[in-house]
Chains A and B, each alone.
Chain A
Amino acid sequence: MRISDRLPDHPDFLWADAEPRKSYDVVVIGGGGHGLATAYYLAAHHGITNVAVLEKGWLAGGNMARNTTIIRSNYLWDESAGIYEHSLKLWETLEDELDTQVLFSQRGVLNLAHNLADVREGKRRVNANQLNGLDAQWLSPEEIGKLVPILDVSDRPRHPVVGGTFQPRAGIAKHDYVAWGFARAAHALGVDIVQNCEVTGFQTSGDTVMAVETSRGTIGCGKVALAAAGHTAVLAGHLGVRLPLQSHPLQALVSELLEQVLDTVVMSNAVHVYVSQAHKGELVMGAGVDAHVGYGQRGSFHVIEEQMAAAVELFPIFGRAHVLRTWAGIVDVTPDASPIVGTLPFDNAFVNCGWGTGGFKATPGVGSVYADTVAHGRPHELAAPFALDRFTTGRLIDEHGAAAVAH
């Protein structure tokens, strides 16, 4: 008996790989988490099913496959707490919504403080979070030691742990399952998912975008919604719009599979590392962005080196682990470290970008908010503060303190 005869049949495909049609009511550009979620909510909650998601590579092969899957909502400002907590609430019911597993694990996220400035920022953020009804707490080093026994909370490290913020409802999810879940559910409602379809330009008439030019032909659009993360500035350039974005490589890595030793997500902005342990057992770690503008999906090794030094200092037990794989995604960073969600200066063009290093957590939240914005042609109330014109009016939403390098 041949081995292949003993193997199970290939499972059914979760979605069909569509040929692009001549036109759609809504063309979503970008087949990552945000684009797929937006298409799903357009179809499921707004009855707009004549929708295409155009992806230049393969489905969810960009930042959706390259992030560290951290989900939290403990941001400083009211506007941020609004949209991120909306997203966290959707994560809590996402498996029912999509009728699929996403392995959302609310294991808590700990943000470490290493100095007086960190303590002040952290306590201020906990207070702001509590005023917004979020489950934020301040923990002492002793409490942190009990929560994460493998973390060195003595005064030995170069940057000792002097406290930390904790959000118990935060956690991680399985990024592929999230993308596949949205793709399957969107496809079942009639959405076309078109892979290997790169957008190369737009046809406009006055203030209206008539069609999208792609590597697979011209596709007419009733509305067009950008959801292309690091490549949004390039797309907006085709529309003649300049956006306040800088695209940077953001690196992450995994270790080999290890026994479960860490059941909390631990982040440290001061020493530039964040770490969790995936369900299979690999340690998943991220760092800050590489400083320079880059689209090459690779970063410099010294960034990884500094991140590992910080991780081993905090977690001596990691000293014998091995780096299995490193990679980078291209993240689009705004001047105030907050996203841009809303309208472009056209009658029927919309933008969702600038999520920088922290877009994964927002996937269901921004999917629902952006779909509502596109469906009704005006910003959803949670998106309104994140409009592009805030850079002219000065109403910035400065999350550098709360977001810092780690998102």
Chain B
Amino acid sequence: MLRIPCPHCGERDETEFHYGGEAGVDYPADPSALADDAWAAYLFLRANPRGWFRERWFHGSGCRLWFALERHTVTDEIRSA
């Protein structure tokens, strides 16, 4: 069980959260201007590192806010983003 440090509610069990995958993936400013491969990259390509990973979590059972943190994908150690 991961213990996730919510910036608003403090450290809580993983079961209170939903996972949001890689952080910092912005919606394209002008999607219709993108070539197919750039649109595909926005839709489908996400970082998948073995190591530190900046990711999003949603505190569904608490403040109901999204936030980002950095977690090590091998050790599950967490540090603030």
Whether the pair A294, B76 counts as a contact (CB closer than 8 A) is yes
The interface residues of chain B lying within 8 Å CB-to-CB of A234 are 48-50
B45 near A244: Cβ-Cβ < 8 Å? yes
B61: CB under 8 A from chain A? Answer: no
CB distance from B66 to the nearest CB of A (A): 15
Mark contacts of B27-57 with chain A using CB atoms, 8 A cut-off: 1 yes-contact digit, 0 otherwise.
0000000001100110111101110010100
* A101 touches B (CB below 8 Å): no
Interface residue count for B (Cβ, 8 Å)?
26
| Chain B residues in 8 Å Cβ range of A292 | 2, 19, 55, 71
Say which residue of A245, A300, A302, A335 sits within 8 Å of B43 (CB atoms). A335
Q: Are B45 and A300 in contact (CB under 8 A)?
A: no
Residues of chain B within 8 A of A231, CB atoms compared: 50
Most buried by A among B43, B46, B49, B50: B50
Does chain B have a CB within 8 A of A242? yes
Interface of B is mostly: mixed
**A244-B44, A247-B48, A335-B43 are contacts. A295–B73 as well, Cβ < 8 Å?**
yes
Do the beta carbons of B76 and A233 come within 8 Å of each other? no
- Chain B residue contacts of A233, Cβ below 8 A: 48
When C-beta atoms are compared, the residue in chain B nearest to A301 turns out to be B1
Encode contact with A along B5-41: 1 for CB under 8 Å, 0 otherwise: 0000000011100110100000000000000110011
CB proximity of B81 to chain A, nearest CB, Å: 15
B19 touches A291 (CB 8 A): yes
Contact indicator B1/A294 (Cβ below 8 Å): no
**Residue pair A295, B55 in contact (C-beta under 8 Å):** no
Determine the main DSSP class of A at the interface with B.
Answer: loop
Residue among B19, B48, B73, B74 having the largest count of chain A Cβ atoms under 10 Å: B48
CB < 8 Å neighbour of B44 from A293, A295, A391: A391
Chain B residue nearest to A244 (CB atoms) is B44
A294 near B73 with CB under 8 A, answer yes
Q: How far is the CA of A294 from the CA of B21 in the complex (A)?
A: 11
Residues of the B chain whose Cβ atoms lie less than 8 Å from the Cβ of A243: 45, 48
On whether the beta carbons of B44 and A335 are closer than 8 Å, the reply is yes
**With the chains together, A233 CA to B75 CA distance in Å?**
18
Does A246 make an interface contact (CB < 8 A)?
yes
16 contacts between A and B (CB under 8 A): A234-B50, A242-B45, A243-B45, A244-B45, A246-B48, A292-B71, A293-B55, A293-B73, A294-B73, A295-B74, A302-B1, A302-B14, A391-B43, A392-B36, A392-B40, A393-B36
Known: A300-B14, A302-B14, A392-B37. 17 other contacts (CB 8 A): A231-B50, A233-B48, A234-B49, A242-B41, A243-B45, A244-B45, A244-B46, A246-B21, A246-B46, A292-B2, A292-B55, A293-B55, A295-B50, A296-B73, A391-B43, A391-B44, A392-B40
The 7 closest A-B pairs by CB, nearest first: A244-B44, A291-B19, A233-B48, A392-B40, A295-B50, A300-B1, A391-B44
- B residues at A contact (CB < 8 Å): 1-2, 13-15, 18-19, 21, 36-37, 40-41, 43-46, 48-50, 53, 55, 71, 73-76
